[in-house]
Chain A
Amino acid sequence: MNSSAKPMVFFIDDDPLSNKFNTMLIRKIHPDVEIKTFTKAEDALNDLKDDNNQKPEVIFLDLNMPVMNGWDFMAEFKKIGLDIEVVVLTSSNDSSDKEKAEKNNQIKDYVVKPLTKNAFTGVVKKFFRSKDEE
């Protein structure tokens, strides 16, 4: 992998407005972070499967999506076997969703929309720093 490449995050959300907001927020607080947004989880999967593409450091995943929802994505994502952090970013404050997310050990965090500066830096700080230390 190209070590000089900028760190990258994925946003998977069927709501384009939500993706737009997230992009605008990250651009503002971390201008050097690469951002890719997907309105369909399948597209994100295909992107991850392609070895030529740069892998993201973290994936922000919405749960409530048509066709392939967040849980479907997690099941497929597990099969690929990539070591990438997944953070659930959803408008649902439903406790059953939270519990389900906690049980899934590939999901590192559960963030209720909207994403804030504090939440983003809190989530990404650890591995961005560890990346730097390498």
Chain B
Amino acid sequence: MKSGAMQLDKKQVRRESSGMLKIKTIVEEITHAGVSDAIEFEKQYRLKSMNLLCIIGILIIAPYYVIFSMAEFWYPVLIVFLFHLSFLSVIFLNYLKYYSAGNYLLIFGTNMGILGMSYCIGFDSGFHLYFLTGPLFIFWIFDLDQKKLIAYAIALELVFVLLVYLVKYNVKPMYDWNDIGSLDIYYLNMSFNLFLIFLLFYNYTKYYQLLTDSLVQKQKKMEEEVEKRIQSESYTSKLFKDLSVSYKNLEQFSYIVSHNVRSPLSNIKGFLSLYEANSHANQNDQVMESIKESAEHLDEIIMDLNVLLSAKNLLLENKREVCLSDAIQNVGVSLAAEIQASGAIIKEEFSINLNLVTIKTILHSILFNLFQNAIRHCRPDVYPEITVRAEKTEEHTTLIISDNGVGIDLERYNDRVFMLYHTFGENKEGRGIGLFLVRSNVEMLGGRISVESKMNEGTKFIIQFKN
């Protein structure tokens, strides 16, 4: 329905257009005989130009009616008519989608015409010159893959060449072409033939131009498609990453509940079982005191949990450019008291204007915890020294934070360094939260953290962020 209406519109437009345009549209209509979107672009273009060549052939041949009629060469007039008939039939066969039949008819018809003309008015009339264009047409009208059909067509062409030469040497022409008058038919044919050759080359050139354009367009489409897929894939992988981080957090949470929350709770439960309502006060006092202590311990752990869980909300902040040097300075301010008390030095070994695109609060938390750890786990005989190195490549930004502290026995604690409530030294100040928070923060920013350490020499944390 819709396409019908559109065609009606097209016809109306055509009726309104000027004479020249009318002819152009008629020609276009004819050249589209047998062309449909169902066939590939290459074949479409070949069909169109074949139809166009048939129209041009009809036009080129038409003057011969006048020429031969004036000289009263009636058989040649008939041959010209047969030429026209075969050209029209080719278009019609294409229209009916008998493409191969159309191809053969074109070869057969034109060669028959050449043979007929040679027979009637002699070889010297120059119709045989069309043999020059014949093979070019063969390679044009057939698909190069149709090798068999092309071979047959060439064989057919050769048979006609042979026949024409047989005619040349054995048959006296019916008409003397000098009778036509001052017109040199040989040069006329030669000009037409040259014209056809130029037309053919023009066609080839245009064809390759169109082919290239369509290929470029196809490639563009494909690239867009690929781009789209990459985008959706990266979205999926980001989602997957977020999900796995969330899952990890959940696992960690369940670990905390099963190990750390349950611990003071089970103490409370235990001490309650020792409480004797009607007994002497001495043991009950001890029980109550212990219950109170356990409850405080529980409260502490729940506060920690709160801190860890609320850290996830920091992700709601937007990433923006942060000057690393400024960030370190801010952490220095936050830790001013501890730095002063310990005599710690913070060294910056990176270019002064190094920027990170990151969430400021999270970066602060990472540096704060690492610096605090470095100060707390210093060796008693040296002043704590923290060195921050940074390197930015096209893909990654790497932060290396090293200290000269007591170090961590990695052979022993390798898998536990970043775990919650795991402490490694004799130092009682740490409760095993800092490094857990650091790793969790680094992962929130999509980074990775690793650790290198030597006992009594220091520890080095390597953090890598994707840019």
The chain A residues found within 8 Å of chain B, CB to CB, are 15, 17-18, 20-22, 24-25, 28, 64, 66-67, 72, 91-94, 112-116
Contact = CB atoms under 8 A, between A and B. Distances in A.
B290 interface: yes
B262 interface: yes
Contacts of A112: 266
A43 to B, nearest CB: 13
Nearest to A66: B423
13 contacts: A17-B290, A21-B274, A22-B270, A24-B286, A25-B274, A64-B260, A66-B422, A66-B432, A91-B260, A93-B262, A94-B259, A113-B270, A114-B266
A75 B283 CA distance: 38
A41 to B, nearest CB: 13
A116 B273 contact: yes
A64 B263 CA distance: 10
A115 B274 CA distance: 11
B262 A18 contact: no
Interface residues of B, number: 28
B424 interface: yes
A17 B267 contact: yes
A92 B423 contact: no
Contacts of A67: 423-424
Contacts of A91: 258-260, 262-263, 265-266
Contacts of B274: 21, 24-25, 28
A66 B422 CA distance: 6
Nearest to A21: B270
Contacts, number: 70
B271 interface: yes
Interface string B221-232: 000000000000
Contacts of A28: 274
A37 to B, nearest CB: 14
Interface of B: 255, 258-260, 262-267, 269-271, 273-274, 283, 286-287, 290, 293-294, 297, 412, 421-424, 432
B290 A20 contact: yes
B259 A113 contact: no
Nearest to B274: A24
A114 B269 contact: yes
Contacts of B259: 64, 91-92, 94
Given A64-B259, A91-B265, A116-B273, 8 more contacts: A17-B293, A17-B297, A18-B267, A24-B271, A25-B274, A64-B263, A66-B432, A92-B258
A93 B262 CA distance: 9
Given A67-B423, A92-B258, A94-B259, A113 B293 contact: no
A91 to B, nearest CB: 4
Contacts of B267: 15, 17-18, 21, 113-114
Contacts of B421: 64, 66
A-B pairs, top 3 by smallest CB distance, nearest first, are: A114-B270, A113-B266, A91-B263
A115 B271 CA distance: 10
B352 to A, nearest CB: 41
Contacts of B258: 91-94
Nearest to A112: B266
B433 to A, nearest CB: 13
A92 B269 contact: no
A112 to B, nearest CB: 7
Nearest to B263: A91
A101 to B, nearest CB: 14
A46 to B, nearest CB: 16
A61 to B, nearest CB: 15
Nearest to A17: B267
A26 to B, nearest CB: 11
A50 B273 CA distance: 36
A91 B263 CA distance: 5
A91 B256 CA distance: 11
Among B259, B265, B283, B293: residue with most chain A CB under 10 A: B259
B263 A21 contact: no
Contacts of A20: 290
A19 B294 CA distance: 12
Nearest to A65: B422
A92 B270 contact: no
Contacts of A115: 270
A24 B283 CA distance: 9
Contact of B255 (A25, A72, A94): A94
Contacts of A25: 270, 273-274
